[in-house]
Structure 1
Amino acid sequence: MSHSYSKFLSMLLFCSLFSVPLCCGQLDYKFYDNTCPNLLKIVRYGVWSAIANETRMAASILRLHFHDCFANGCDGSVLLDDTSTFTGEKNATPNKNSARGFEVIDAIKANVEKACPSIVSCADILTLAARESVYLTGGPYWPVPLGRRDGLTANETAANELPSPFEPLENITAKFVSMGLDLKDVVVLSGAHTIGFAQCFTFKQRLFDFDGAGNPDPTLDASLLSNLRTVCPNQNNSDTNLVSLDPTTTNKFDNNYFKNLVNNSGLLQSDQALMGDNITASFVMNYSKFPFLFSRDFGISMVKMGNIGVLTSQDGERRKNCRMVN
């Protein structure tokens, strides 16, 4: 690692240690208390029903919120279908054939509209649904500031620039910093990979040709390598096979993701790379030892992420249908 990048990371660490998370511009924890008092119950029931039907949906909804916030800000733009005037984000490379949960948000939105029509934005519903997805799978609960409004367009170009499992840590860090997040957020939000699955193509190079000479990633645990080669054989028709990001507690939101990294058992190269830098590795070690610390910091980072590029006041709108502008 270069000396200049080390200084860059040290500066980020200093800032993260001494920054106080603010609540969120014009957002308010009690925004809908009077206008839609049953909102939280409706969202929780919708997410609970979806997870009861398919446990994987918790990770899908959490990922959907992340992909929304990193393209155009947390404005519900990822939920929009294509129109004659713009191309939506659903067909961007990071989302195509992998972004899921749209029907869950649609169903929750329909129930919210019955209770309090034209009051609650799709962006707020998605933000709340992400929190419920974590909480209902055993993770932390944190207060979510509300009052986001929905965007009037989508940004396929921005969606194509989402942090990728194929990128080096420097690139991923830079993308987080460009969103107003810091190195601590990179590590703690990566902990969302304690639930969910990845398609084989996202890590297959580590198994068969990590160095361009036909050798596997030498940092990968040997028994894990053997198991992954069974599920993801070196042929194209295995590319979309699914592998748990955390095989020890697949459907439970906990700190095992960080324990896996310490044991060289991170599935994605972008995850295991967190152990290759002294500063990020120190965060990983702490979160692997202290689950409460991870839970606390995860909620803080989710509030920060949920404040990226929000629309408030008279900007944007409150969509009646999350798939299209009014």
Structure 2
Amino acid sequence: MALLAALLATVLCLSSQIKAQLVVGFYNSRCPRAESIIWEEVLKAFLKDKGIAPGLVRAHFHDCFVRGCDGSLFIDSTPTNVAEKDGPPNGITLRGLEVVDNAKARLEAECKGVVSCADILAYAASDSVVITGGRGWGVPAGRRDGRISRAAETIDIPGPFQNLDQITQAFAKKNMTQDEMIALSGAHTIGRSHCTSFSNRLYDFSPANSQDPSLDRFLAALLKIQCPQGPQGDVDPNLVVPMNRSPALFENSYYRDILAHRVVLTSDQTLITSPESLSEVREYAFNEREWQEDFADAMVKMSQIEVLTGTAGEIRSNCRVINP
């Protein structure tokens, strides 16, 4: 009898694990209009502000790298806790969270307590790529929302000043390969960057060089005009510049810009500092279809980092506040 009970427990455990896997079409019967409602909100916001698309892709990435893709990025800080949205490198740089809020409000009216904030963000990221001309992907869904959000844990998010080894190690901690990291870095083909994310390359690079010698000198001259130093040698943290020549179009010019030393972030230029990474950048620079396919595959994998499923976590009724 004890053996039978043990076998039954094992079967039930395995059954629970199987049910907990994310699946494409998760809301087809639970909330049939979920995906279309999210698409409508993303498109509406994008038509008003092209920066919404890169903002949502970036938000999904930042959410997944802290406690997994659990929507903890949305939780507001309280008097007793500084949440991750207020930690570096989030702070003033996050964009598009209100799009998820708007979609959530409609979904709660349509099918209360069914669609998680984490899933809304995953769908919104894919929609943002499609809206800007990229290849979308079937979004595996079924995530549940986390209840913990701590600014101190945003240290896990790779930063704009890191070198190739540092970025590769950050992705490896999340079971992502260097190849997948290089493919995902292509998201920088859309959007803007704050000047403070690269101003060290212009004014304070090293004791031997005030300007980064790996930065194209004509681009550097332009960036100094767009990101001037103040009286104290600082740069206004609110100033932004386009990430590349077509900041609202999801295409592979980003990789050609890396080869030409015309990208603004250290973390982008560093992608050609090893023979292996250089080879992949070259491949993507001249084969857009391959990059788009690899990007979509890598996004699907990233979107499943440490997810909460089954009965773990909750379905938050307000993305900014954990349920009572």
Q: Taking structure 2 as the reference length, what is the TM-score of the superposition?
A: 0.90
Aligned position for 1:238: 236
Counterpart in the other structure of 1:228: 223
Greater Cα offset, 210-219 or 56-65: 210-219
1:297: which partner in 2?
A: 294
Quick one: structure 1 residues 24 and 285, their matched pair in 2 at CA, closer, same or farther if it must change by over 3 Å? farther
In structure 1, how many angstroms separate the alpha carbons of the residues matched to 2:237 and 2:38?
A: 34
**Equivalent residue for 2:177, pick from 165, 176, 182:** 182
What is the distance in 2 between the residues matched to 1:127 and 1:51?
A: 16
Matched residues, number: 303
Instruction: Note if contact 1:77-1:154 (Cα within 8 Å) is conserved in structure 2.
Output: yes
Structure 1 segment 24-43 matched on structure 2, within 5 A? 26-43=21-38
2:307 aligned with 1:310, yes or no?
yes
Query: Residue type matched to 1:271 in 2?
Result: D
Distance 1:205 1:237, change over 3 A: closer
Match of 1:135 in 2: 130
Identity of aligned residues (%): 39
The aligned counterpart of 2:285 is 288
Matching residue's letter, 1:251: A
Contact 1:72–1:155 (Cα < 8 Å) also in 2? no
In the alignment, what sits opposite 1:215?
210
The 1-side partners of 2:320 and 2:29 are apart by: 26
User: Does 2:108 match 1:110?
Assistant: no
Structure 1 residue 44 corresponds to structure 2 residue 34: no
Q: CA deviation at 1:85?
A: 5.4
Q: How does 1:28-107 map to 2 (within 5 A)?
A: 28-83=23-78, 86-107=81-102
- Letter of the aligned partner of 2:187 in structure 1? A
Letter in 1 for 2:126: R
Equivalent position SS for 2:193? strand
Change (3 A) 1:120 1:107: same
Match of 2:246 in 1: 249
Structure 2: how far apart are the matches of 1:277 and 1:59? 27
The one-letter code of the counterpart of 1:254 is E
* Counterpart pick for 1:265 among 235, 245, 262: 262
Residues 98-131 of structure 1: per-residue CA shift (max 9 Å, x gap): 1121211100111111111111000000000011
The equivalent of 2:4 in structure 1 is none
SS at match of 1:31: coil
Counterpart in 2 of 1:197?
192
- Alpha-carbon distance in 2 for matches of 1:275, 1:208: 23
SS where residue 243 of structure 1 aligns?
A: strand
Secondary structure, in 3 states, of the residue corresponding to 1:198? Answer: strand
2:149 aligned counterpart, secondary structure: coil
In terms of Rg, which structure is larger? 2
What TM-score comes out, normalization by structure 1 length? Answer: 0.90
The answer to whether the 8 A contact 1:166-1:270 is kept is: yes
After TM superposition, give the deviation of residue 186 of structure 1 in Å: 1.1
Whether the 8 Å contact between 1:131 and 1:141 is mirrored in structure 2 is yes
How far apart in 2 are the matches of 1:87 and 1:265? 36
Q: Which amino acid aligns with 1:280?
A: S
1:270-299 deviations in Å (ceiling 9; x for gaps):
100001111111111000000000110000
Counterpart-to-counterpart distance in 1, 2:164 and 2:111: 44
Contact kept? 2:180, 2:298, Cα under 8 Å: yes
Q: Would the aligned equivalents of 2:116 and 2:144 in 1 still touch at CA under 8 Å?
A: yes
Instruction: Report the Cα distance in structure 2 between the residues aligned to 1:258 and 1:41, rounded to whole angstroms.
Output: 32
Equivalent residue number for residue 11 of structure 1: none
CA contact 1:201–1:239 (8 Å) conserved in 2: yes
**Secondary structure of the corresponding residue to residue 216 of structure 1:** coil
